[in-house]
């Protein structure tokens, strides 16, 4: 069961590894990333940062979609972490069991605007967010599990 689908450009770090994992009672973290899946150094770093007793799986976006839709992940309380809003959009289009997206952190880039303390969006991000909202998904901004959720509609 998908407990949370989170956008965080840093992927697995203290907030995700401990705060969010505990808050949603996840027993498996899926890092869905086309770049990380082929980067041995990054994969090693992520493995070191995972909480004890929690399974860590690193897959491409396509392989993540296939695994979740096949039912192989159904036995887990799954926390999905992606690097970009576009990756979250790609997953949400193909995985009907994703009902909400948590925006926790996205990189500041040239031409992007800041919509919260840790969320920067470009034109494509805004289109992806709007498409997710139009499809009925809840899209929230929240860095820490203990913070109040802010609907992305309130800041766009």
Cα atoms found within 13 Å of the Cα of residue 67, Cβ hemisphere only: 18
Instruction: Find, among 12, 35, 2, the residue nearest to 105 by Cα.
Output: 12
Query: Chain-centre distance of CA 71, in angstroms?
Result: 19
What is the C-alpha to C-alpha distance for residues 136 and 51, in angstroms, rounded to an integer? Answer: 32
Active site residue 13: yes
Q: Which of 13, 43, 93, 127 is catalytic?
A: 13
Element (H, E) at 80: strand 78-82
Active centre residues (catalytic): 13
């Amino acid at each position: 069961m998908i407990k949370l689908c989170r956008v965080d450009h840093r992927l697995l770090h203290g907030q995700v590894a401990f705060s969010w994992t505990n808050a949603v009672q996840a027993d498996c973290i899926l890092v869905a990333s086309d770049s990380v899946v082929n980067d041995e150094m990054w994969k090693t770093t992520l493995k070191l940062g995972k909480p004890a007793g929690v399974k860590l799986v690193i897959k491409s976006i396509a392989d993540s979609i296939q695994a979740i839709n096949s039912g192989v992940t159904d036995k887990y309380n799954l926390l999905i972490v992606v690097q970009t809003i576009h990756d979250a959009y790609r997953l949400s289009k193909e995985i009907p069991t994703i009902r909400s997206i948590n925006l926790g952190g996205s990189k500041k880039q040239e031409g992007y605007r800041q919509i919260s303390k840790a969320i920067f969006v470009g034109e494509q991000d805004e289109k992806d967010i709007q498409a997710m909202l139009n499809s009925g998904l809840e899209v929230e901004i929240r860095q820490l599990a203990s913070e109040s959720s802010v609907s992305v509609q309130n800041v766009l």
